[in-house]
Amino acid sequence: MKILILGGTGSIGSAVTAELVLGSHEVVGLCRSEASAQKLVALGARPWRGDLCQPETWQAALEGIDVVIQLASTFGPDMGEVDAQAVTAILEAARGRSQPLRVLYTGGCWLYGETGDLTASETSPQRPIPAFSWMQDSANRLLQGSNIACGVIHPAMVYHEDGGGVFSRMLSQAASGLPVEVWGSISTRWPLVHRRDLARAYRMLAEQPELTGHFNVSAQTGVAVREILGEISSRYAHDGSYVVRNRKHVMFKYGDWAEGPTLDQQMRADKIQAFCGWRPEIRDFTQAEF
């Protein structure tokens, strides 16, 4: 299939690009710099120079595409607006086609809000944290779009071998021997997935013609920060000391997005397993490289 990926050089996107190429798909990747273009070429994709913030620079790349994957984000104050414009461009491109356009849109576990002892499934009510509530609007517009087959993927907290992903802050603090900052509470649970398993989920869903609705992707339903810190401490010969920063403190210091890691969440991924047979290969983060 011919696939356009927005954000194909990012932390998640680079793994998805590699996985799609490995699956013999023809991948075109949006890029805004020479460095990103080279990264795409190295991954086996064809670069398309343009800017996410200016859909007129990449809308033509949607012609003749079977699937478009949205994994790009500016993460700036304009991120919701930029995403909404990108969604509008995708909706417009789908209208004139003879075949429905398949779209994989990226949401995230933070759209479920704090679940506590409950476990979020795709039918659970969404209570997104304000910093990312725009994702819900974009997802709904795509799900209701005409001539579109849309899957909305909700990745758990994503870790990987190249800097740690969601573990990166704790890893660098542990490596420097300082007490590790714990955001919220040491008992806070994070649903987890390794980037390689997540990339496989994107590829497997992209290959499904009857794509529709929400798909959670987690390998571990909810792992307490206490366990994550314990594992990191043992890997870095750190003494395990930590200092708790409350939600208000981290949001003031780092921005509204910092509410996300303070959420006590559990999320399961039964639907994608039944829908396309996806199974995580890494079921326990303590067995993974990061």
Judged by the rule CB under 6 A, the positions of this chain that interact with ligand NAP are 7, 9-13, 30, 32-33, 36, 51-53, 71-75, 106, 108, 155, 157-158, 165-166
For the residues of 212-226, what is the DSSP string, one character each?
A: -EEEEE-SEEEEEHH
Work out how close the CB of 125 gets to ligand NAP at its nearest, in angstroms, rounded to a whole number.
18
> Quick one: 156 or 211, whose CB is closer to ligand NAP?
156
DSSP assignment letter at 151: E
Work out how close the CB of 166 gets to ligand NAP at its nearest, in angstroms, rounded to a whole number.
5
> Quick one: 30 or 91, whose CB is closer to ligand NAP?
30
d(CA 280, CA 226): 23
> Quick one: 145 or 155, whose CB is closer to ligand NAP?
155
Q: What is the dihedral of CA 156, 4, 288, 226, to 10 degrees?
A: -20
Work out how close the CB of 143 gets to ligand NAP at its nearest, in angstroms, rounded to a whole number.
17
> Quick one: 75 or 252, whose CB is closer to ligand NAP?
75
> Quick one: 97 or 271, whose CB is closer to ligand NAP?
271
Q: Bridge-partner residues for 180, per DSSP? A: 242
> What percent of the chain is helix, strand and coil (3-state, nearest 5)?
40, 20, 35
* CB-closest chain residue to ligand NAP: 10
Work out how close the CB of 159 gets to ligand NAP at its nearest, in angstroms, rounded to a whole number.
8
Q: How far is CA 221 from CA 16, 40, 157, 241, in A?
A: 22, 32, 10, 26
In this structure, which amino acid lies at residue 209?
Answer: P
Work out how close the CB of 46 gets to ligand NAP at its nearest, in angstroms, rounded to a whole number.
15
> Quick one: 142 or 158, whose CB is closer to ligand NAP?
158
Work out how close the CB of 147 gets to ligand NAP at its nearest, in angstroms, rounded to a whole number.
24
For the residues of 232-279, what is the DSSP string, one character each?
A: HHHHTT----EEEE-HHHHHHHH-GGGGGGG----B--HHHHHHH---
